[in-house]
Amino acid sequence: MDVVSPELNSLLPDEIMDTEAIAMEEDLPAEHLAPPPPQSEPEPAQVPMETEVPEIVSLCPATTSMQMTSTNAQCSTSTGTQLLLASSGLMAVTTTTPAKTTSPASAQNLPKISSVTVPANHQLIINKVASSPAADGKPPGAAVLKPEGQKLLVAGLSKTGQPIMLALPHTWNKPATTQGTGDGKAQATQIKMVTAVGKPVIAVSSASQLMGSSTTLQAQQLKTLQITKKPPVSTAGPMITKLIITKALNSKALTSPASVSPVVTGRVLTQSTPVTPPRTISIGEAISTVTQNTSGNSKVAISPLKSPSKLTVVSVASQSPNSPQKSVTLPLNMALGQQILTVQQSATTSPAKAGTSQSTAQAAKPMQTVTVGGMGTSQFKTIIPLTTPPNVQQIQVPGSRFHYVRLVTATTGSGTAHTGASINTNPSIQPAKSVMMNAAVRMSVPIVSAQTVKQVVPKPLTSAAQVVTTSQTPQRLIMPATHLPQIQPNLTNLPPGTVLAPAHGSGNMGYAVLPAPYVTQIPQPAFVTLTSSSTFSTATPIQTQARLSLNGLSTSEATSRPRKPCNCTRSQCLKLYCDCFANGEFCNNCNCVNCFNNLDHESERLKAIKACLDRNPVAFKPKIGKGKQGESDRRHSKGCNCKKSGCLKNYCECYEAKIMCSSICKCMGCKNFEESPERKTLMHLADAAEVRVQQQTAAKTKLSSQISDVLTRTTPALTSGGGKLPYTFVTKEVAEVTCDCLLEQAEQAELANQPQAMAERLILEEFGRCLRRIISFAGKAKTDCPING
């Protein structure tokens, strides 16, 4: 069984899947590995968005019995770190940096780890072992993170030598309920991550025990990937001169007992100075929920780009009825670009057949869309599941190293939400099932920079909670399509996350080129949900923007902010002046005039996108990248050019993004730096104002409640005085509470450093409000209390 099926290989970019090519490119600059060179600009010496804080990504197990047996997925991390999710829980991680790459010596022997590149200062060792120790060849200094029960650990080092880690929870390989083949001691497939720093040779060997006795067909093939790299001379940090990954292929890895010890988040084994503690990112069950019995017909979009910042795993496979699939968008904070990985899984094939059935399974797959983002820029990759398999055609674009899928079926067909041909929905493989309660929907293309999510706490993705809300403000539309030939010349220069989407009104041959954000703009009936089990009660025609719960973070928080409507009048919303356009969104509910940023102006829009990209290949890339020290040091990718605002007004893009100006800014008279007194004053005032508002709100709510309570309790005593004047309601209790209100107001004023006059005024105003409440309540009490009359 191969991690990547031949067919899948055919869908993947050459630079990823062609291991031989990689091998031949050893020690070659990364540009050689990059996708079409024209736009593949070398990564700057400083990669603003690069993850530099150690991260640990924990792939949390799903509580369900689902298992990821034969899914293949590749993920990209920062600077090209790629994660290959192999069947049976095997994962291969590749880390690529522009400058340094290593390649497997034998691509043929190791199709599963076909694209492993190791930057000089990145560490990446994936060790899949069974019960047997994997110490073989482990160099001194190399360490096994979690000998027992460690399902998967993927580690890499960012340029700064800080580790990036992925850890699969122990339940990852939890035996499927349907499978039962594995005996109790079936070797829990263990993957150990060993990072050796500064060692000339790192050998990670994994010996896996054969699974159940029946595993003859898929006898574990021990394949060794050896990656050799000459140690960088000048690299002070850890370097890997040679990486050997040996893994035993076990088709039944899934049968590993669930008793595997819980995955420890992982440890960074590095000799470099880990200034910052590793961050842990737990990837929710979305990944782990992959159905076990799927036969590995996964399709993976791999970004050839060097610096993907976001990893999105999209599982589009249909699931068996008993094993709902869940997918999650993984805005890993370890990459520059964004990637969306779609893992297609087929429930039709048994795990045992995984090795041989991939080709057939793939043919049976109803959906396959691989979209590759623009090159040289942040990369978004999206695989779009289609409900109508016969209508999906794979396309090889001449001159393009990517494969595309032609969508020949309008997505607007279904009238119900759950059956709608949504890009984001995962239709059941079996058309007969009108309702996919178990269907997992995966889709999310957050445009927000990945840096915004630093730590994600694993959170079970249970059904109901993940229904996508449709309340998102901006209505999102699918981008108009044009015929492929029209855009072909520019296919290699698409905006980040460009997606080929079904054409709008252009028959079966239309294509839409969508910047990644548009993926979330698919019109109804498309809608997104993380989990399938929930009923799709929202068959409304309302445009839906995915608000996926992302490990506790809703995508609305992570990826979509309520965007203000634009007011463009002259640009037709087809230039970057328009925020909608710049953000890769269609105008909706905007105040623009003569707007062309909509479905009705497909060609114009496409041309505009092309023009923008021609001017600036990274035009659609988020401007705010990550600085050296993580999120706190986010910085503008280009820097601002302010002259008059002192960078302390929202004219300044840095200030607007609430980040400091950096050395790359060309501003004049900048006051937006750490020690700036003006900035501090502004911040202080802003904070004080915010605190004050919050306090006032809380205090008023509380005191108002108290007053009402007091009045309520005292009213009966005043019943005899029905019809009395309001002052009769001012009992001792009421007076006391009122005084409390005034005191509270005084405290707040003092807290806010308000001048005395202002404080007095605020107190008086509060007193007035108290009186009004008393009067109001008095009147109400007289009228509402019959007993008083």
Which residues are near DNA by CB under 7 A? 564, 566-573, 575-579, 582, 611-612, 615-616, 619, 623, 638, 640-647, 649-653, 656, 667
In DSSP terms, which residues pair with 677 in a beta bridge? none
Between residues 139 and 617, which has the closer beta carbon with respect to DNA?
617
Q: How far apart, in whole angstroms, are the C-alpha atoms of residue 583 and residue 519?
A: 12
Beta strands 222-228 and 242-248, pairing class: antiparallel
Residue 336 or residue 568: which is nearer to DNA going by CB? 568
Distance of closest approach, residue 200 Cβ to DNA, in angstroms: 40
Query: Which is closer to DNA, CB of 651 or CB of 767?
Result: 651
User: Environment class of residue 432 by beta-carbon count within 10 Å: exposed (0-12), middle (13-18) or buried (19+)?
Assistant: exposed
* Residue among 433 and 575 whose Cβ is closer to DNA: 575
Closest contact distance (angstroms) between CB of 563 and DNA is 10
The smaller minimum CB distance to DNA, of residues 108 and 589, is found at: 589
In angstroms, what is the minimal distance from the CB of 600 to DNA?
17
Strands 55-59 and 163-168, bridge-based pairing: parallel
- DSSP helix/strand/coil, 632: strand
Q: Give the chain's radius of gyration (CA, Å).
A: 29
Residue 263 vs 648, nearer CB to DNA? 648
Pairing of strands 202-205, 242-248: parallel
CB of 741 to DNA, least distance (A): 32
Grouping H, G, I as helix, E, B as strand and the rest as coil, residue 150 is coil
3-state SS class at 193: coil
**Closest approach of DNA to the CB of residue 43, in Å:** 18
Backbone angles phi, psi at 392, to 5 degrees: -100, 130
Question: Do 291 and 66 contact (CB within 8 A), yes or no?
Answer: yes
CB of 514 to DNA, least distance (A): 18
Nearer Cβ to DNA (155/642): 642
> For DNA, which is the closer residue by CB, 208 or 672?
672
Provide the minimum distance between the beta carbon of 90 and DNA in the complex, in angstroms, as a whole number: 42
Nearest distance from residue 185's CB to DNA, in Å? 60
C-beta of 637: minimal distance to DNA in Å?
10
Tokens at 446, concatenated: 């957050």
Shortest Å, Cβ 589 to DNA:
13
Determine the Cα angle at 633 with ends 631 and 636, to 5°. 105
Nearer to DNA, 148 or 579 (CB): 579
What's at 82, amino acid-wise? Q
Which residues, 6+ apart, have CB-to-CB distance to 518 below 8 Å?
A: 445, 476, 478, 479, 497, 499, 501, 512, 584, 585, 586
Residue 507 has φ and ψ, to the nearest 5°, of 75, -155
User: Alpha-carbon distance 32 to 45, whole Å?
Assistant: 18
Of 94 and 645, CB closest to DNA: 645
**Whole-number minimum distance, CB 474 to DNA, in Å?**
13
Minimum CB separation of residue 562 from DNA in Å reads: 13
- Please name every residue paired with 227 in a beta bridge, in sequence order, or none if there are none: 104, 243
> What residues contact 65, with CB distance under 8 A and at least 6 apart?
174, 175, 176, 177, 178, 292, 322, 323
Decide whether 525 or 584 has the Cβ nearer to DNA: 584
Strand pairing of 55-59 and 279-283?
A: parallel
Nearest distance from residue 707's CB to DNA, in Å?
36
**Rounded to an integer, what distance in angstroms lies between the CA atom of residue 228 and that of residue 371?**
31
* CA dihedral angle for residue 628, residue 633, residue 639, residue 642, rounded to 10 degrees: -150
CB closer to DNA, 421 vs 574? 574
Query: CA-to-CA distance for 155 and 565, rounded, in angstroms?
Result: 42
Integer Cα distance of 789 and 785 in angstroms: 7
Q: How far apart are CA 446 and CA 564, in angstroms?
A: 17
3-state SS string for 204-257: EECCCCCCCCCCCCCCCCEEEEEEECCCCCCCCCCCCCEEEEEEECCCCHHHCC
In the complex, least distance from residue 583 CB atom to DNA, rounded to whole angstroms? 11
* Residue nearer to DNA on the CB measure, 570 or 780: 570
Q: What is the 3-state secondary structure (H, E, C) of 32-51?
A: HHCCCHHHCCCCCCCCCCCC
Nearer to DNA, 91 or 580 (CB): 580
> Nearest 10 degrees: CA dihedral of 488, 491, 492, 496?
170
Sheet containing 510-514: give its strands across: 481-483, 510-514, 499-502
